């Protein structure tokens, strides 16, 4: 498969994942979510995430999605999380920043799934380790995000 075709397919999968999350957020709006924004931008548009969610209990959550995960992608998202948190800190607000990935049976491709899950689990452990500097609060599978939104 040519690189251009591969990138096009990745874009299609990523856009479908964003639509799926948007649909979940819309369905949860009445009961759990006060409001949400798609593709919010922060600090003079330097930092962009996929969704900003304000829960009815006042908790503010920013999520950035990815359908595959690699160390370099997590490092990129760390920088985005840093900028987002600095933005809200300047406003006197606290925000949770999560990277959201598809559920285990949907992550990556059949060929890469096992490796992707191992990378996710390793990064989740690293993020929770107090010796590791992380601006990402957690990497969540989609079902984990939905549970957090319902709390």
User: What distance in Å separates the CA atoms of residue 148 and residue 132, rounded to the nearest whole number?
Assistant: 23
What is the arithmetic mean of pLDDT over 119-131? 90
What is the arithmetic mean of pLDDT over 120-127? 92
Residue 108 pLDDT > 90, yes or no? no
* CB distance 55 to 95 below 8 Å: no
E strand residue ranges, 1-151: 33-38, 41-42, 47-48, 51-55, 60-65, 96-101, 138-141
pLDDT > 70 in the chain, percent = 91
pTM over 0.85: yes
User: What distance in Å separates the CA atoms of residue 50 and residue 52, rounded to the nearest whole number?
Assistant: 7
* CB distance 101 to 142 below 8 Å: yes
Would you state the pLDDT for residue 62? 98
């Amino acid at each position: 498969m040519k690189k251009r075709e591969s990138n096009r397919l990745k874009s299609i999968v990523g856009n479908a994942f964003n639509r799926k999350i948007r649909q979940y957020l819309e369905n949860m709006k009445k009961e759990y979510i006060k409001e949400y924004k798609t593709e919010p931008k922060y600090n003079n548009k330097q930092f962009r995430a996929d969704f900003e969610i304000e829960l009815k209990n006042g908790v503010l959550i920013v999520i950035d999605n990815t359908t595959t995960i690699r160390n370099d992608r997590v490092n990129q998202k760390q920088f985005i999380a840093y900028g987002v948190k600095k933005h809200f800190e300047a406003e006197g607000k606290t925000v949770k920043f999560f990277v959201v990935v598809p559920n285990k049976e949907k992550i990556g491709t059949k060929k890469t799934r096992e490796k992707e899950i191992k990378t996710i689990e390793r990064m989740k452990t690293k993020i929770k380790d107090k010796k590791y500097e992380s601006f990402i609060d957690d990497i969540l599978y989609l079902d984990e995000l939905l549970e957090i939104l319902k709390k």
